[in-house]
A and B are shown apart, each in its own frame.
Chain A
């Protein structure tokens, strides 16, 4: 396959970026999207140029490090798929592909397609945990049975990989799906209930401080989330938030 690529290049956060055109040849349909970019980068290095910077690590859809807006769609055209799991058989020879970073006020570009998502870490630090000491003096794991449906729901919410596609897909750059997923995980488990109130207040406060926008229920986040995190989590976040406010 041969492809025309239009890629966002930006030297660093201080400088302006632009879309640059590239061509790649000899692309095998069995290649992953990132392997296609590897081919481009090897070509660039051969001709003495700087390769395109992009984030990635596990390349199997679980670490949440890969990003990329591909033809306008975070993580590309396939539903429930991260960029690293997208394969070139999804494209046709001769196609033009636009590749841009996950944008958002709270996600400044570091270089080319690499963005700074540390705002997500700071939101988690503000309350995304259970305040239990880790030095070993806890009760037996089976002391508190948890109904299977609750455990399963908590797991579904906990499957979020923190990639930020929800933010990148949202016209308001809202992080409600990401925050909702964490809040919902804990709100469904007895262990998380004790601090539910402070947690939701602190996490939402931090979210606003980081510059993420408000949710206007467009549903774009759910559509682009590679892990199928559902909009119910946002509903639940709102519910928990209101509950916490009323009790104040």
Chain B
């Protein structure tokens, strides 16, 4: 819908009238339906629709809802009313559970990263009994710990014109208009409170000399709204959430199960009632009952095998609930981060991110001449020997307005384009340069002038410049040198894009509930706020917003009906069945007495995903990916070898379970990418690009969330579409030229 909610798109009208979009187009062409073109897109006015329906006046909101109900089987529960008042109105009207009753309600939280730890702590503080699970030896190890750059909040401490609306708008636009307006606005609205909360907990954010909080700018937005703690923001935020969790453990309100893996969810009479877990130390399969289950298990980037995610990050918890009825949304929306350390060889087990902030000062280039590139790869030439004129600063060339600061998806694709064309550096040919030489000189000269030293003494200028670069990025340069064994102050860094984050995930409504009543999903595990591309420093914000400020309230809306349920029994047939399913899987996996290792299959899957569902995709490749993944999955079950036993610590067995689920997710991922016949955000379909090679979005046909429904083993999953309605922003194509 358009800005004022006065016009409908062809898609919306088709849904409302329950006819195909073709029919509407035919009528538009014949003149039977009058449309106007807004930004190149057909729109039909409210009056037109009234006359078509032969009713006097229509409320466009209602119409949309009718259309939605027809097309999409679930209510997204977005409250009516003005965008800015939705959340406060919702909080004021949803059901609550009284403090006395909360004591009788149990909640399971799977995952204790930023989202899960903050949720567990707050739920416990409110009075619920919480059981929290993580697979590492301590909640403090969750993958959130690795986040470097920072966390956004619309505090406007810098007085540079930031506001909730601006943060909302940047996030919606950055996500290429594929996220839900109301959720994103709420995120912006609660963001400021996150910072208050964290400071109160003792999180040592960076401060200026006046003792106030410092900010940096991030991710190509026009304001400085990113709070940070050196290059360790995720660590400090997670330790804050961990301390809040520990406080509740100490009060006896949270029972913590570390080194435990969720193996399945238990659904009783259509409601989530508990989980089956495996104790990773002694191998015991356990039953846990609860009135609600919260999934906070993070993203699934490791479906690519190589990613910046921690080694254990996995999709299992999300996938198990998907198979029991939770829709999986936009699985193909993945973020490939442009500045990571390139793969150095076949032994590579994971990839390391170099913070996006480096693009503020580093210039990205490859040799202009293909011969030079070859020489570099053969170590016959050094990058510093290539004269300025023979370098191709391709981002500055292609995108003069944004240059090296284009969004992540754009920068990543441009690097791939150059490397595919044969200009890549590094022994693999899969790398480009990120060069700080110009910045060192620039800063050095500034410093020399401001301190009255000789600005023409090049050695002096260089050493002054290096000091400044060191103060800004010292820890990153050090990390780079440890891994690559090259000094980035002297020679340009080599970087290449790597899988980093998954925008897709479990579908949730405005209350963060999945399509299984009583089962919720928060943090990176859900799909909700980042659309087709996430802006830097927004994942930490979302995880903590969900955990501290959203879920603890919205869960009450569901639990209000549970106060009379009484404790959940685990000696029921549903628990029996779920447990025996887990045991059967383990038996099957352990039954091969020889064969290939789990890693072998994980690497193979990763290669298919990277080659065919990676930075750019086309229908043919995606179809062959689906076939290849199917075949690989079959081979996996008949040939994977897990040594040792199931009755004790067995890392290979734990990995096998995760890879088994990745092998199913990978197929859905490719299918989703195949069905989305447009390019948007991190999803680039080669068939849909402009003449200049830029992404071509199709708002008329694809302004929806792809919600996949599991239909049973070996059956094609069903695609349900949640239409996205934009009332507060105008859909524009993103240009960074």
Contact = CB atoms under 8 A, between A and B. Distances in A.
Interface string B617-648: 00000000000000000000000010110001
A130 B201 contact: yes
A33 to B, nearest CB: 11
Interface residues of A, number: 78
A119 to B, nearest CB: 11
Contacts of B482: 81, 85, 87
B580 interface: no
Contact of A135 (B125, B145, B243, B349): B125
A139 B485 CA distance: 46
A44 to B, nearest CB: 8
Nearest to A116: B137
B697 interface: no
Interface stretch (B169-177, B190-198, B535-543, B562-570): B190-198
A111 B650 CA distance: 9
A127 B1 CA distance: 53
Interface stretch (A93-101, A154-162, A167-175, A229-237): A154-162
B188 interface: no
Contacts of A124: 242-243, 246
Interface in A26-80: 28, 30-32, 34-35, 38-39, 42, 44-46, 48-51, 53, 55-65
A87 B347 contact: no
A35 B347 contact: yes
B155 interface: yes
Given A57-B141, A85-B482, A186-B202, A134 B211 contact: no
Interface string B325-349: 0000000000000000000110111
A45 B350 contact: no
Nearest to A160: B239
B236 A110 contact: no
Contacts of A114: 649
Interface stretch (B227-235, B395-403, B719-727): B227-235
Interface stretch (A145-153, A207-215, A216-224, A239-247): A145-153
Contacts of B211: 145-148, 151
Contacts of A186: 202
B643 A154 contact: no
Given A12-B649, A63-B141, A38 B349 contact: yes
B594 interface: yes
A117 B344 CA distance: 33
Nearest to B203: A158
Most central of A12, A62, A117, A185 by chain B CB within 10 Å: A62
28 contacts: A45-B641, A45-B643, A53-B649, A55-B137, A56-B311, A62-B145, A62-B146, A85-B479, A114-B649, A118-B137, A125-B247, A129-B201, A129-B247, A130-B243, A134-B244, A134-B548, A135-B122, A141-B196, A141-B205, A142-B157, A145-B207, A147-B211, A148-B209, A152-B204, A159-B232, A185-B204, A186-B202, A191-B200
Interface of B: 118, 121-122, 125-126, 136-143, 145-146, 155, 157, 190, 193, 195-202, 204-213, 229-230, 232, 235-236, 239, 242-244, 246-247, 249-250, 256, 258, 281, 310-312, 344-345, 347-350, 352, 479, 482-483, 485, 548-549, 552, 594, 597, 599, 641, 643-644, 648-649, 651-652
Interface of A: 11-12, 28, 30-32, 34-35, 38-39, 42, 44-46, 48-51, 53, 55-65, 81, 85, 87, 89, 110-111, 114, 116-118, 120-121, 124-136, 138-142, 144-148, 151-152, 154-155, 158-159, 161-162, 185-186, 189, 191-192
